[in-house]
Amino acid sequence: MAGLKGGPTQDEVLGIALRKLALQPGDRVLDLGCGTGAVSIAAAATAAEVVAIDRRPEAVAHARRAADEAGAPNISFFEAEASEVLPGLGAFDAAFVGGSRGLADVLPLLADRVRRRIVVNAVLLETVHRAITTMQSLNIYREAVHVQCARAAPLAGSVYFRPIDPVFVIVGEGRCS
């Protein structure tokens, strides 16, 4: 992961995002802005197929290696802008969005291609606002959750809790049937 901006999704946040995705066996899942591949690999344990997209070649290369090491052969990777490839990829049961680039353009595409859940993870307040207002305008907004965790770490012969950067998990309902 050295040099790869934006990842990986922390385990605690990943657990919440996966729960909000409500994956079921046999699902077809989209991981948009796949970064290190952590979400794709976790989803692949339940889903029949995961489609992972990132515009950064180094992210796709890293995620592909991680998936190979994890033994997750049911992940397909695309190095592309989401808005360019989404129209040709068909429908999904659930979609995770880990990148914020072009979010206002991507969410309408997802709303019409996702059957159940769309989950957006965001760290910037601007991204939170854009995700919520765009989902509201599409009538797909369900909820937003602020996740703040801390992990135990040694300090002065004892233990303290080091905060993990806060993340917002924004949930929408797809309208594809």
User: Residue 38: inside a domain, yes or no?
Assistant: yes
Q: What is the DSSP string of 47-61?
A: -SEEEEEES-HHHHH
User: Residue 50: inside a domain, yes or no?
Assistant: yes
What is the tens place of the pLDDT at every residue in 142-158? Answer: 999 999 999 999 999 99
- Its domain, for residue 42, covers 11-172
User: Residue 133: inside a domain, yes or no?
Assistant: yes
| Number of domains forming the structure of the chain | 1
What is the tens place of the pLDDT at every residue in 41-92? Answer: 999 999 999 999 999 999 999 999 999 999 999 999 999 998 889 999 999 9
Task: Provide the 10 A C-beta neighbour count for residue 128.
Answer: 19
What is the tens place of the pLDDT at every residue in 85-116? Answer: 999 999 999 999 997 788 999 999 999 999 99
